[in-house]
Amino acid sequence: MSHRNETRMAALTTTPPLASDSPEMLPADRTLEPACGWFVLGTWLFLTVVALGFVTLYGNRTPRWEDWFFVPFITGAQRVDLAWLWENVQGHRAPIAKLVLCACYSLFGFNSKPILYLNVLLFSALALGLLWAIRKARGRWSYTDAFFPIVLLNLGQAEAFSWAQTFAYVSATSLETLLLILIVTRRGALNRTSLVPAGASLILLPLTFGGGVVFAAMMVPWMLYQGWVVKGSIEPSSRHVRPIALGSAFVTVMIIGLYFVGYRPLNDAPGEQYVKPGLAVYAQTALKYLGSGFGGAAYQPLWQFSGSLIAVILLAAFLCLIQALARSRLTGDPRAVGLASHMVSCVAVAWVVGMGRYAWGNTIFDSRYAAASVVALLGSYFVWELHGPPFLVPLGRMLFFTAAAGFLAANFQLGYRHGRTLRDAERAFLRDLRAAEPIPRLIAHHSWVTYWYHERLERYLRQLRDAGIPPYNRLPPDRSFRVRTLGPEPTEIVEIDWNGKGGKILGPDAYLRFDLNEPQFISGLRFRFSLVDPSGMMPAVRVRLQSDTKPELLHYNCRYESTTGEEAEILVYVDDRISRVLLFPNNRVSSFRMSSIELLLPETVPNGPIRVVERNSFRLLPAGRTSGTIATGCRNGQNGMNSVLRRKSWPASGVYPKMSSPASGKTRDRKRSPIVAYSPHCRIAPVSALVAILA
């Protein structure tokens, strides 16, 4: 190799000093502020304590939503093997999350709080690592670097701090952020010490969830570039870099290929309104997803604000990268290449989310998505800092910080309400569980905070009871029902070409109405159903019941998982007096068949009048799963709850219901904490929320 080539390769693979007075580093503002370090580290420490306090006060102990999938493991019915770890669940393969949750449940019982503490500690470590990286890259701290702990540890991450299943998102974000830190802390190509953790992160990303697969696939060319750029280098630290890079890329590609063997995507569209697919709606959903990186409250007051903000940020970042790459001719600045690959990967994940969740409405702003989409904001901050116009860099920093801090108050309000509501709901569920309420009644009143598909939740509760796992061992034996079959002909048919046993759906508001001769108290509703949707999507099957206790309809969204038309039994537990049944088979043109509709009647009707307790609205329910309204209450005299949860789309505007339960009257002698019903016009001051969490 010629002396000239050796000199060029040495320049690519060595890292010059990253001092603040280096001419290659950003000259921005040269003033060193000793208080900067205290400010950014103090912000990091304060928000870490707040997040840990949030988990302590509001983190769930009982399973929530997909946490119930681990019941077979808890009861010993399911062994931890490769087939189970690699199983496709809800459109994702997440072996890393499964292993971590299984280890947690083995050590601490069926309790999710240790996982929630782990989520907080991982995000806290990421924030600290990013602060170290920006200081190494710039040579000093700036007050605006508090941006990192603000976006990672604000209570807009409420679901990441209260739902164990979000560990899949948190683990992917951790690996993606580790790659970002490794990229920005070296000006040249990665050496052996940096490339080993980078390669390990790339290999593990497809094992987190679907978003990690897309991100890893887009980063494979960057890893190959790392192997090519050190070709011929004589630096000792660059030895073995090429085989490590090529090996990591090869293993990653193999795992991604295996991921799609027998893969079945989650073609679900739970929204009531049909949304026509197309590039415009994909882009809009992708912007919503990226905007949620500011926190779960980023849609307030309008999602267009956060969407436009993130669009401007990404546009500026890519313009800076294009200029840097053009100046260096791709090979002269490996760090710019790495940042470009990282940002392209973030946008690719957002686009795939847009294609897969376009029919889910504003559920894309749920705080669990904030845990995954925040990576694009983190990368954009570094792009602007390292490749932005020097005279505009301080202004850009301030805009990043101001945007994150501007959403901070709303995120604290959201997190406080979210945690308070779920904590009260969990207490009500545990109260009924310890009072030995029957399984159908538990499901009717608490499915929204446990698991929203009634037949699955019933099966999981039975498994826990039969395995003798406390407190589920208090559940009574199953009771029998009297069955009443509804008449074969509906009272009213809307937008359906009915043939007596099924028909063709002609419009998005198609439904069948069945009127009862007189109001009747029922425990549940059961019907056999089959449907074929030409679009290949799972149908949005919905049941609406007219209660005798209130004017609002009780809304239930049902799970029919077949896309090929197999007949399935759908079960909905109600525990209320009803007079009318409305069945919405789908909101898209399709054909269906319904063989029977049965009312499940209790052996004995509850004594006492059915009394309407306070009705309130609710906002943060199992997002993305349903739309419309859901009834979640017991309506048995003074011991019941009668809250109808109304919303047009997830998450809808509104407030939270008072938490009550069938066992309330049985536990009146116990001291219970007060429960607050929030007004839709109420706004909790951020200081009050912080005091409540830290108290």
CB neighbour burial string for 113-148, b if at least 16 within 10 angstroms, e if fewer: bbbbbbbbebbbebbbbbbebbbebbbbbbbbbbbb
**Three-class SS state of 484:** strand
Do residues 525 and 443 lie in contact, with contact meaning Cβ atoms separated by under 8 Å? Answer: no
**Three-class SS state of 291:** helix
Do residues 163 and 63 lie in contact, with contact meaning Cβ atoms separated by under 8 Å? Answer: no
Task: Could you list the beta-strand ranges (E) of 499-603.
Answer: 502-505, 511-532, 541-547, 553-558, 568-584, 590-601
CA–CA gap between residue 21 and residue 526 (Å, rounded) = 73
pLDDT digits (tens, 9 = 90+) for 206-225: 999 888 899 999 999 988 88
pLDDT in the model for residue 331 = 63
- Answer whether 0.85 is exceeded by the pTM: no
CA–CA gap between residue 571 and residue 557 (Å, rounded) = 11
Query: Could you list the mean pLDDT of each consecutive 10-residue stretch along the chain, which spans 695 residues?
Result: 45 40 40 73 93 89 83 82 82 86 85 90 94 88 90 89 88 93 84 86 91 91 79 54 86 90 69 68 85 80 78 90 81 82 92 79 69 91 90 89 88 87 86 87 84 85 86 85 81 85 83 85 85 76 78 74 76 85 82 83 60 31 31 29 30 34 42 32 38 39
Do residues 440 and 480 lie in contact, with contact meaning Cβ atoms separated by under 8 Å? Answer: no
593 CB-near residues (< 8 Å, 6+ apart): 501, 502, 529, 530, 531, 567
pLDDT in the model for residue 14 = 43
pLDDT digits (tens, 9 = 90+) for 238-279: 567 788 888 888 999 999 988 888 777 766 655 555 667 778
The rounded Cα 566 to chain-centroid distance in angstroms is 30
Q: Position 294: which residue type? A: F
Helices (H), 329-407: 334-357, 367-387, 393-406
Do residues 583 and 597 lie in contact, with contact meaning Cβ atoms separated by under 8 Å? Answer: yes
Do residues 646 and 629 lie in contact, with contact meaning Cβ atoms separated by under 8 Å? Answer: yes
Neighbouring CB atoms inside 10 A of 333's CB total 22
pLDDT in the model for residue 239 = 62
CA–CA gap between residue 362 and residue 347 (Å, rounded) = 19
Q: Residue 677 belongs to what H/E stretch? A: none
Residue 129, CA distances (Å) to 27, 44, 138, 180, 315 in order: 23, 11, 14, 10, 26
Q: Is the peptide bond before 389 cis (omega within 30 degrees of 0)?
A: no
Measuring CA to CA, which residue among 257, 192, 253 is closest to residue 227?
A: 192
Per-residue DSSP letter, 600:
E
The structure tokens listed for 612 are: 């309407």
- For β-strands 568-584 and 541-547, DSSP reports them as antiparallel
Per-residue H/E/C for 297-342: CCCCCCHHHHHHHHHHHHHHHHHHHHHHHHHHCCCCCHHHHHHHHH
Neighbouring CB atoms inside 10 A of 14's CB total 16
CA–CA gap between residue 214 and residue 225 (Å, rounded) = 18
pLDDT in the model for residue 516 = 84
